[in-house]
A and B are shown apart, each in its own frame.
Chain A
């Protein structure tokens, strides 16, 4: 990130430095540029406004990532604080042996010196998973971690009392407990409330001494008790693995400083403890920080990808603005050339003016991006539950993020400015002074032809290389590059209109056809391919529409009322300026394209939610999670007459590595067995190894062979990226005791993991990979005919409250997950609204400038007797037509791409057209743009012909 910032910063400097030198050396030029900017304040403000939106979007994508990272990482403070490592065992003897070994190893200095990330403090605790019931409030919470510790010792743990969260906690009397704020909130607890703690068959009555803010140890468990508070329960349930003895290890350094040391030390400890069975070493805080970074990066990527379309729209707007600015200045610049300005000097004069817009735009855009990014994170974070409940979303932003955003935004503006300036400096002096249009050159210079020839060959080669080398981006881009660079040659053969048509058909056809043609290469794994496909198809469609200009003109003339004068005038300018019109169309199409895809995918998912629930339900209706040995077992459950059938699996957390990851990652793993497969497959597969004739066969193989696994969509990938693990990929699960990798090969990839089953492997392997960690039993419950799943779930929860059962209808689980997804889509669409803002504002600016440009023409129309209404209508038709064309292109391409995308995501999904959404997508930009054009149109209508006819200005 820092490297990107420095690099783009350098590029900016390279582009801006010559201008700064010019400004200092030739004050007159600088003064002229300044005066030009100052002469039209409102319009200057509009140009800056248009330019800053791009910067704002780029910056906000980085800021979202940073804030999400910060929010998730905050869990390190609220849930772990001084805790860096945990050494856990359900077995008392093994644990005591392990503790002795850890103490020895630490004393020998093998774990680093105390002042350099070495072991600093040790704390002995017992963690019991219990169900907490609050009779006074009629509330209960299953699977709460009850931590038994010595308060006095705990306060000193880590050396900084405030980090433990226990500094102000008073001593506990007999039968008194401390409750964390989140647990208290869920149970509606207050100080003094009586609680029932259920562990296995025992129940202990305690009272709430204090509710503590979640910080460090106070957030580590839901309830803190003094050792011995749950003596009988612990003894009774020890065999059932509900009680874990744990040694908490704090390393030297602050809460957030020990990430690397923790990973290193955990390795050393694992080796030292390798001989002991059932002892597990974890570095939970480092894992949280890893996840935080991944989540943050995922969000940056997601919003960056989606934002790229808006940024692209911003670039098109900028190009448009500067070209208009340049055209408007033609006579003036021509005069300067006549007075003896060299081309270079002219370029610089004009670019200097551009710099005066670009600089404030970069600064303001970065500020705006900061605000937008934070807002997006604050809204979407809790919506998606990325961070722990009640997590704060502080505005923590890496300076590098802001620098990168500002530098990228500035670079885009500067490049645009230089290109526009260089182009304008090539003007023909005489034509410019007399304000005659530059003739379209049919004959191209030899150099142009040679360059274009090379580019055509290069483009084709790029596509071929992409197809061979499985590089989607190269494959996609090559052909369009060849098509567009071939235009100087094509121009010799056919008219400009035919050429645009031909190129448009070719590029659009390619963009839409490349996915079905090369399904193996175009997998959309890389989001950049998705962005590029949007850009290429939009470019193709816009060229095509440009080539059809005659058709539009004819159509409009026919539709228009009476002799269609307003419509005729409305299309005259767009048709006469194909380049400008294309830029505007592209601007709208690009954004609408993305909004359409999001809306279509979202609606399609919604529409298919029933099928999706069925796909993962294994014929069951209710999911029942409980602890092993809690007494909630199949044998007991099947005796109930509201339950028709049941299948059990065990679930736990395991640690994984893969070649594409630089750190290990924790993921849920579920063990499947023959009984489950008898009922059906736990998840329909989106893709599977062709060696297996059916999904069931692939699952059976996984059950038989401990080196095979089925993974869900998005396994081992960040939040924003699509799955990086495909059929045939290999990854490794780490043995919890020894850390030794266990190689696994993917035989099938499922769809979205609605129920959180994670990686599916055979039951014995799952048990091995989750040994020592808390595991759960999951029962797929099929309710008896006629029974209501929700009622059955409620009844199960009541009956097995003490045993910590948690039953939910599967449809409700899928719905909830779907709701989050819908939230994300809504969020992304809102974010894209920024792009529409660019489009709308851009069109407004363009129309304002258009009025200025056409002042005399409009005045003449009025002199000829055209009513002010006619003038206004013509302007509105012009704007409306541009928007409608742009949005229709965007909607059609969006639907086509959504279809392809859904096919890649999940073959079973049938595209649902979001009619209401589409109506909004078309209507909003249209209404907004008409509103934005209303002012310039009114200005046009109010032009005083007598004044306007006198002077060009």
Chain B
């Protein structure tokens, strides 16, 4: 991981006019039987190149949904999402898939590595999907595994790696295709605090090297050290900007409780 950069540096990149991600009025409602669950109630969000955006909020308030919808993994009910200049929901699923393959990548809480493939084989997958020749893909995979500190474990299967190491592999897999944007949903959720710290460190290094990242997290530390914090509550963005001016997590909890009551009241009516 040494080649990522010896320490965190401040990146004073000037904000470019065209954001890499632009979401406008995104609405998403789940239907569970007869019941409707409004998960996103109108999301407007811009993410610019080189930004590190952390998304926080109480459980069940729509963070994962936001990530899924804004990355095009899930469909939306209203609004527009533009990534790298392309309107995600104006194109066919196949096209959206291809777009995703070249422009975005993901890190999830459950590592989602393919158990029968070695670390290197897992990492090279995104390249193979976009049609990179096998030899070149394998070489890139080894390079990136070296970057995340797993150069010597390339031939091990996920079952032979620790949780922290597996998550490093997924980070490597996210980096390998040099995507414009990396989405991470609670990347440290399944790890103990020390290992989680290592992974956060790694992600910050990745960001420091110029990578744009959107990270959904419950980790206060990561949220507060980020450059920009987005707080989600009840399907809406309630804060977007400097982490230092954001309300504390504890302040958000009662509001969530009120929301729940309101929703149940609606149901009763």
- List residues of chain A with CB under 8 Å of any chain B CB: 436-437, 557, 562-565, 568, 572-573, 575-577, 854, 856-857, 859-868, 870, 944-946, 949-950, 952
Contacts and interface: CB of A to CB of B under 8 A. Distances in A.
B154 to A, nearest CB: 16
A864 B159 contact: no
Interface in B116-143: 116-117, 121, 125-126, 128-134, 137
Given A437-B159, A856-B112, A949-B108, A865 B128 contact: no
A437 B115 contact: yes
B102 interface: yes
Contact of A860 (B97, B102, B104, B114): B114
A860 B94 CA distance: 16
Contact of A557 (B108, B112, B126, B134): B134
B112 A860 contact: yes
Interface string B91-111: 001100111111011101010
Contacts of A864: 100-101, 105-106, 125-126, 129, 173
Given A563-B128, A564-B134, A865 B74 contact: no
Contact of A952 (B110, B133, B159): B110
Interface class of chain A by DSSP: helix
A865 B97 contact: yes
Top-10 shortest CB links A-B: A865-B101, A576-B116, A946-B74, A860-B112, A437-B159, A565-B128, A563-B134, A946-B68, A857-B114, A946-B73
A952 B157 CA distance: 19
A170 B18 CA distance: 111
B126 A865 contact: yes
A581 to B, nearest CB: 11
Which of A563, A862, A863, A864 gathers the greatest number of chain B CB atoms within 10 Å?
A864
A862 B112 contact: no
Interface of B: 64, 68, 73-74, 93-94, 97-102, 104-106, 108, 110, 112-117, 121, 125-126, 128-134, 137, 157, 159, 173
Contacts of A854: 114
Contacts of B97: 862, 865-868
Contacts of B93: 868
Contacts of B115: 437, 576, 857
Among A436, A860, A867, A952, which residue has the most Cβ atoms of chain B within 10 A?
A860
Given A863-B73, A864-B106, A949 B112 contact: yes
Nearest to B128: A565
A950 B64 contact: yes
A573 B129 contact: no
Nearest to A574: B116
8 contacts: A568-B128, A577-B116, A854-B114, A857-B115, A860-B106, A945-B74, A946-B73, A949-B73
Given A437-B115, A557-B134, A865 B100 contact: yes
B136 to A, nearest CB: 9
A572 B117 contact: yes
Most chain B CB neighbours (cut-off 10 Å) among A577, A944, A949: A949
A833 B98 CA distance: 43
Contacts of A856: 110, 112
Nearest to A862: B97
Given A575-B116, A577-B116, A946-B74, A562 B98 contact: no
Contacts of A572: 114, 116-117, 121
A865 B106 contact: no
Contacts of A562: 131, 133
A560 to B, nearest CB: 9
B219 to A, nearest CB: 20
Nearest to A563: B134
Given A437-B157, A564-B134, A860-B114, 14 more contacts: A436-B159, A437-B159, A557-B134, A562-B133, A563-B131, A572-B121, A576-B157, A854-B114, A859-B112, A861-B114, A865-B101, A866-B125, A867-B97, A952-B110
Given A563-B128, A866-B97, A857 B64 contact: no
B159 A857 contact: no
Contact of A563 (B101, B114, B117, B137): B137
Contacts of B108: 860, 949
A233 to B, nearest CB: 87
A573 B114 CA distance: 10
Nearest to B127: A563
Given A436-B159, A565-B129, A572-B116, A867 B94 contact: yes
A865 B134 contact: no
Nearest to B131: A562
Contacts of B116: 572-573, 575-577
Contacts of A862: 97
B101 A866 contact: yes
A935 B74 CA distance: 23
A861 B129 CA distance: 9
A194 B87 CA distance: 96
A165 to B, nearest CB: 72
A573 B129 CA distance: 18
Contacts of A868: 93-94, 97
Nearest to A854: B114
A397 B131 CA distance: 63
B132 A563 contact: yes
A863 B112 CA distance: 11
A8 to B, nearest CB: 39
A944 B108 CA distance: 16
Nearest to A945: B73
B220 to A, nearest CB: 24
B179 to A, nearest CB: 10
Contact of B102 (A565, A577, A865): A865
Contacts of A563: 128, 131-134, 137
Contacts of A576: 115-116, 157
A870 B134 contact: no
B110 A866 contact: no
B130 A865 contact: yes
Contacts of A568: 121, 128
Contacts of B112: 856-857, 859-860, 949
A857 B116 CA distance: 10
B68 to A, nearest CB: 4
Contacts of B133: 562-563
Given A863-B73, A865-B97, A870 B129 contact: yes
A874 to B, nearest CB: 11
Interface centre among B99, B115, B130, B157 (most CB of A within 10 A): B115
B42 to A, nearest CB: 20
Contacts of B113: 857, 860
Contacts of A859: 112
Nearest to A568: B128
A866 B129 contact: yes
